[in-house]
Amino acid sequence: MAEEDEFSVPLIADLYTPPALLPIAQLKDALLYTIETYTVTIIVGETGSGKTTQIPQYLYNAGWTSNGQQIAVTQPRRIAATSVAARVAEEMQCQVGQEVGYSIRFEDVTSAKTKIKFLTDGLLLREMLVDPLLKRYSVIMVDEAHERSLSSDILLSVLKKVLKVRPDLRVVISSATLDAEKFLDFFTPDKDEVGESKPNEEYGRIVSIEGRVHPVEIQNLIEPASNYVEAAVDVVMEIHKSEAQGDILIFLTGRDEIDDAIDMIADRVAELDATKETIQLLPLYAGLPSEQQMHVFQRAAENTRKVIVSTNIAEASVTIDGIVYVIDCGYVKLRAYDPVVGIERLNVVPVSKASATQRAGRAGRTRPGKCFRLYPEGAFDTLEDATFPEIQRSNLAPVILQLMNLGIQNIIRFDYLSNPPSQFVIRAFDLLASLGAVDTYGRLTKPLGTRMAELPLEPMLAKALLNAPTFNCLSELLTIAAMTTLQGTAFISHDGNTKAADKKKRTFAVTEGDHITLYNVYEAFVRNKLQAQWCHDNLLNFKSMTKAHSVRKQLKHYLERFGVTEHPLHASDVLKAGGLELSERVRRCLTTGFFAQAARMKPDGSFQTVNGKTTLWAHPSSVFFHRKADWVIYHEILETRGKIYIRDLTTIDMDWLTEYASDYYKTKKK
């Protein structure tokens, strides 16, 4: 499925199939005919079919860009957009940025010559704010639509609307077998909208392209594993003892399980005969610093079998060649949103059939492989066909803002691929109304609501940032907003030494809390000239800090466009701000966005929500994990293993809650 979206490693000649030999080449004419004749074409392309790289070239050669329009190909991930653009540019013998280019946040590598443009689906949605009918494109290909990400679902919905006005536009959707029909049904216009000349079956077609992968033999356990980590370790040792050479990829659900499995395998390996083939153990998860992630791509030493123990990141985002054996625990950790309490949870749930199939396929990229599923064969049939769409598991406030800003009036009756539960929509509207982004008629407010929608930030943070000039702390809020988007990745620990990292972190910590601590970290980074070495010495993630720098710059541009700029503090401003200290102004400003996420510390160090119903805990990364506090607001709340953690905390006065959100707290008391 995601054969092209891998880390940008150099192409290895013997893994590269010349385009003319790909199965898709035989279908070229049929494909072009279908796309020309039908408005929507669903491509069911297996792994290795070459759909992503070849179809845009076919369309280009067939003249779909000769009238000055472009072909857009959307990807769910940045890495995919850049690496596929590089591959296609190479095949077309041009430089990336010429006929073939890509566009992702912070990086637009396109030019006036660009005809084929790869971009993230989220960015294409943003483009629609400027070009609502996407007139610059003749064809839009939405790749990996079966993953059902929030932005690709939304994109497909708005494309359906665009097609009603632009019958000349062609939409190509790449999907897995199981939901091809669903996509086609979705795009087929309702009966009353279709004229005599265009019966439903004339609107779209499904085209299947076989892949070019090796067979993977599936083996199941007879009984369900009582402990799948232990079962996985047993299977690794069994493979190592009795199967031929080849690397092993294990799918587990999280970091703790990965660490446990690695310890257990290491113990078992120590008992082995040292003269025989040995095992190299490699963890893989998103939170791992990227240098360590890169180890999984390195060839193992002589007589060494690589065993990669991974989260779901290896299912589609990271592709590793040379895997011959896959061990699939059958579970995945997924986010679920609880609209009643307003918190997100991370739950371990059974994978879908599509996921299980994709995981197994990871064993057949280089040669025939084997997949060991740690559950009985019959259990497969009980799995869901596809992973629950993200839109049914998420806080919808950002989505709703975005849809409204695209001119969608009726959010409840909007044509979703899968309807989000109405509870989710109601909760999101409540929040947006309390922030002043929508009025009592459910319309986006101007300019506040539209500006919040345009900023690439969550609504609460966007609101606080837009309020910053009032508190004369725009520069500070820009930094804080940029740093909180890093989601805790600023601090790293070399070789798992979290003690040292915590100690370093304390040198930046302040009693006001995490936001101002993060501000101090960024300020120090800038004072030290954005140096990698300085980050390394202070146990900071250089890549993350550089990202914060880009985000800050981008946010600043947005605010300048809105006519909101930083200005020095004049005497009159000081008076307007009540002559308050900077840190208090920052904390008050944050409260104007995050008032709905307030809590009070109890003597035992835990926190309680305003309504007293829920117990929360400071995340261990917070300065309040060790320190005392009274009232705080927090940026993020997440339940994991039955305990609710809050992250990025800042102290406030209780009075500020009613000062800045009197309506919100009045209605809550009722």
Partner DNA sequence: GAGCACTGC
Q: Return d(Cα 660, Cα 436) in angstroms, integer.
A: 12
Question: Between residues 207 and 460, which has the closer beta carbon with respect to DNA?
Answer: 460
Find the DSSP H helices in 468-530. 474-484, 498-508, 514-527
Question: Between residues 58 and 337, which has the closer beta carbon with respect to DNA?
Answer: 337
Question: Between residues 546 and 621, which has the closer beta carbon with respect to DNA?
Answer: 621
Question: Between residues 403 and 661, which has the closer beta carbon with respect to DNA?
Answer: 403
DSSP secondary structure, 158-176, as one string: HHHHHHHH-TT-EEEEEE-
One-letter amino acid for residue 135 of the chain: K
Question: Between residues 219 and 550, which has the closer beta carbon with respect to DNA?
Answer: 550
Q: How far is CA 552 from CA 209, 220, 486, 515, in A?
A: 44, 50, 11, 15
Query: How does DSSP classify residue 411?
Result: S
SS3 for 20-52, per residue? HHCHHHHHHHHHHHHHHHCCEEEEEECCCCCHH
Q: Is-contact 629 651, C-beta < 8 A?
A: yes
Q: Which single residue is written with the structure tokens 């996420």? A: 597
Question: Between residues 445 and 621, which has the closer beta carbon with respect to DNA?
Answer: 621
CB of 433 to DNA, least distance (A): 21
CB of 463 to DNA, least distance (A): 15
Say if residue 122 is exposed, middle or buried (CB neighbours under 10 Å; 0-12, 13-18, 19+): buried
SS3 for 448-461, per residue? HHHHHHHCCCCHHH
CB of 490 to DNA, least distance (A): 9
Question: Between residues 40 and 403, which has the closer beta carbon with respect to DNA?
Answer: 403
| Bridge partner residues of 216 (DSSP) | 369
Question: Between residues 27 and 633, which has the closer beta carbon with respect to DNA?
Answer: 633
Crossing angle of the two packed helices 255-270 and 228-242, in degrees rounded to 10 = 40
Question: Between residues 483 and 661, which has the closer beta carbon with respect to DNA?
Answer: 483
Q: For residue 451, give the nearest of 395, 408, 397, 401 by alpha carbon.
A: 401
CB of 348 to DNA, least distance (A): 9
Question: Between residues 107 and 581, which has the closer beta carbon with respect to DNA?
Answer: 107
CB of 66 to DNA, least distance (A): 29
Q: Which residues bind DNA (CB under 7 A)?
A: 76-79, 104-105, 120, 122-123, 126, 149-151, 253-256, 285-287, 311-313, 317-318, 332-335, 346, 398, 456-457, 485, 487-488, 498, 502, 605-606, 617-621, 625-626, 638, 640-641, 643, 645, 647
Return contacts of 413-418, CB within 8 angstroms, 24+ apart.
414/157, 415/157, 415/160, 415/161, 416/153, 416/157, 416/391, 417/148, 417/153, 417/156, 417/157, 417/182, 417/183, 417/186, 417/389, 417/391, 418/148, 418/153, 418/389, 418/391, 418/392
Q: Is-contact 191 161, C-beta < 8 A?
A: no
CB of 86 to DNA, least distance (A): 15
Give just the sign of the alpha carbon dihedral 535, 466, 337, 405.
negative
Question: Between residues 204 and 283, which has the closer beta carbon with respect to DNA?
Answer: 283
Q: Is-contact 99 93, C-beta < 8 A?
A: no
CB of 27 to DNA, least distance (A): 29
CB of 653 to DNA, least distance (A): 21
Question: Between residues 212 and 333, which has the closer beta carbon with respect to DNA?
Answer: 333
Question: Between residues 390 and 476, which has the closer beta carbon with respect to DNA?
Answer: 390
Q: How far is CA 297 from CA 15, 82, 290, 448, 534, in A?
A: 15, 19, 12, 47, 28
Question: Between residues 189 and 605, which has the closer beta carbon with respect to DNA?
Answer: 605
CB of 533 to DNA, least distance (A): 24
SS3 for 236-258, per residue? HHHHHHHCCCCEEEEECCCHHHH
| Bridge partner residues of 117 (DSSP) | 72, 101
CB of 286 to DNA, least distance (A): 3
CB of 394 to DNA, least distance (A): 8
CB of 639 to DNA, least distance (A): 8
* Size (the chain), residues: 670
Question: Between residues 142 and 661, which has the closer beta carbon with respect to DNA?
Answer: 142
CB of 450 to DNA, least distance (A): 14
Say if residue 625 is exposed, middle or buried (CB neighbours under 10 Å; 0-12, 13-18, 19+): middle
Question: Between residues 77 and 427, which has the closer beta carbon with respect to DNA?
Answer: 77
CB of 616 to DNA, least distance (A): 9
Cα-only R_g, the chain: 26
CB of 68 to DNA, least distance (A): 24
CB of 405 to DNA, least distance (A): 11
Q: Return d(Cα 2, Cα 75) in angstroms, integer.
A: 10
Q: Is-contact 404 411, C-beta < 8 A?
A: yes
One-letter amino acid for residue 653 of the chain: D
Q: How far is CA 504 from CA 405, 435, 597, in A?
A: 43, 36, 28
Pairing of the two strands 100-104 and 107-109: antiparallel
